[in-house]
Structures are given as structure tokens and as C-alpha cells.
Amino acid sequence: MGYLNEAQHQLVSAAVAEAELSTSGEIVPVIADRSDGYTDVILVWAIAAAFTAMSIFAAFPDVFLSMVDWLLGGWTHEWTYGEVIAWAVGIGLVTFVAVWALLSWDALRFVCVPSPIKAQRVRMRAVRHFKVGAEGRTKGKTGIMLYLSMREHRAEIVADNSIASLVPAEVWGEAMADMLAEIRKGCVAEGIAAGVRDVGKVLAEHFPRGEDDDNELPDRLIEV
């Protein structure tokens, strides 16, 4: 799905073009709907819920079976060992399917994914996109990517080695803060543009634009 319209894309593209006027660095902004499907996390939650339900049944079988007797008309049934096992497995399967279905709903799924896992997956996807789209694609290896993952509410900045060796990761904190401040207000394009401008200022200090500098990467926002 697209988060930004044409005018918003142009706003970000203009910010990239302006920022690159004073630096040989190449800035690539990327916005993604999500960085991962988290099916493995859903699976873990579903399995944990299923085993929890089965364990509770195993701890209090008489309570559950009495409820079944009541639902069947109140007549006490002599449950065999096989029937009890079947009920335990059935409860586990129903719980597994129910939890899987619930967590397939995006709004609930992303709430249930632990923050450290979100941060790790966003970072991994940002690095992957950078390697494909920007790493080593400039003569001076001065590419840098601003990556925004909407579902996880996370952002990353990934840079070529020549930039990373000179600029500590914490320096990008101001760019991240300015970007996220606007995004939290619902101004996604304005937030990305603010981040681009801040990154451009840092790059201009360390990698000023030369007279023979070429624009090696497109000045545009990429939506994936």
C-alpha cells in the first residue's frame, strides 16, 4: 500500500536534492509498510497458548468434563482415558487455531511482537535494502539510507563504510529525533524530509560536494 501521494513524494525528493547540493553523499529515503511478517512469532504464541490450555485441562480435568456433562444434558458420563486425551488434544488444537487467527489480524499481531524483535527485524531489513539499493554504488562509497518501517514504528539509518568510519552512529540521533517528531504527528513526508535535511548537514561537514561530483543515485523516495 502507498502511504504518500505524489505531492508528498515530491516534497521528499526536493529535500533530497537540496541536501545533496552541499555534499558528495547520496541520500536514499525508503518507506516500508512492514519489515517482516512475524509468522514465527505468531507460531510461538499459538503453540504456547495451546500448551497452556492443555496444561490447565490436565490440571483440572474434572471441572472441564463436568461442564461438558452439563452441556450434554446434565447426565454424568464415565469418560475413558482415550476420551480424556482426545479432549485435551482437541482443546489444544482449537486454542492453537484461535490464537493463530487472532494474531493474523495486523493490529493485534504487531502489538504482540516484542520490541527487541521488531528492532532487530527492522534493522536487518534496512541493511538488506541498503546492500541491494545503495551500498557501494557511488564512487566514493558515500551512500546512506533512511529507512522507515510503518507497522513497527521504527526507523534506521544505514551508511556506507566510508561514512560509518567517520560518523559515529549516535550522531544520527538528531536526524532520527526530528524525523520521528513529525511522523508522530502524522506528517510522514515532512518527517522524512526533516531527517534528510539533518543527514545532509552531517554529510556536508565530512563529505563536501566537489566541483566534479555527479548525482549517482536517484533523488526520490522509495516505497516498498
Q: Which amino acid is at 221?
A: L
Q: From CA 114, how far away is CA 121, in angstroms rounded?
A: 11
Q: What is the pLDDT of residue 213?
A: 66
**pLDDT of 188:** 92
In the prediction, which pLDDT does 101 show?
A: 95
Q: What is the pLDDT of residue 215?
A: 61
pLDDT of residue 113: 94
**Averaged pLDDT in 10-residue chunks for the chain of 224 residues:** 84 91 87 92 95 89 75 66 83 94 92 94 92 67 88 90 83 85 90 91 85 68 86
Kindly give, in sequence order, each residue whose CB lies less than 8 Å from that of residue 215, ignoring residues fewer than 6 positions away. 20, 26
CA distance 51 to 96: 9
C-alpha torsion sign, points 115, 153, 109, 158: negative
pLDDT at 137: 60
- Residue 144 three-state SS: strand
- Between helix 61-71 and helix 39-59 the angle, nearest 10°, is 90
Q: Which of 22, 175, 215 is nearest to 167 (CA)?
A: 175
Q: What pLDDT sits at residue 72?
A: 65
Q: What is the rounded CA–CA span in Å between residue 57 and residue 88?
A: 6
Nearest Cα to 178, choosing from 155, 158, 160?
155
Residues of the chain with CATH 3.10.310.50: 6-36+114-223
* CATH class of the region 6-36+114-223: alpha beta
Per-residue pLDDT at 220: 84
> Is residue 180 within 8 Å of 62, Cβ to Cβ?
no
Instruction: Determine the Cα–Cα distance for residues 28 and 150; give it in Å rounded to an integer.
Output: 17
Rounded to the nearest 5 degrees, what angle is found at the Cα of 126, between the Cα atoms of 123 and 130?
Answer: 140
Cα-Cα-Cα-Cα dihedral sign, residues 204, 207, 209, 211:
positive
Nearest 10 degrees: Cα torsion 167, 168, 169, 173: -80
What global pTM score does this model have?
0.81
